[in-house]
Amino acid sequence: MARRALTGKDAHVATSTVFDGLDWAAAGVRPRGAPHTLYELLNHMIYWQDWGLAWLDGQSPATPHHASGGWPGTPAPSTRRDWTNAIEHFREGLGRLEAHCRARPRTRRGGKTPLEMLATIAAHNSYHAGQVAFLRQLAGHWPPPSGGLTW
């Protein structure tokens, strides 16, 4: 179940493809009235996904003192390579999360089991993937080449 939740399959847009086909320059444009650019959302998703992976790997990652600490980086990528590197980093993290799902560890740490942490990351990614889809719709950049729900 956690593996399917991480992919977004069945319930939401696939988290691994939600950024596909988006031009790097468009990723840094903030739609009117939107609180974030697509690049900011991607970096935020990466930040918390990496945080969760560190926790799952037995580390004790520091939690930011303020919500703004989980929104690293700039509003726009400086280059096409910055954009593609960020997407590759995000997808690599998704692969590592799937490996943790297959391992099925059950040891409780800090009040959570690994399965609960995986579910938390899946919910976080799904929430923001929905925002990405919405912002892409507003900007006329939806659906991605792989398709996506348009209703």
Domains contained in the chain, CATH given: 2-139 (1.20.120)
pLDDT in tens, 15-28: 999 999 999 999 99
pLDDT in tens, 57-78: 999 999 999 999 999 999 999 9
**Residue 42 to residue 132: CA distance in whole angstroms:** 9
Residue from 151, 150, 121 nearest 15 by CA: 121
pLDDT in tens, 122-149: 999 999 999 999 999 999 999 888 876 6
Angle, CA of 114, 119 and 120, to the nearest 5°: 95
Most confident stretch, 5-14, 77-86, 92-101, 142-151:
77-86
pLDDT attached to residue 102: 86
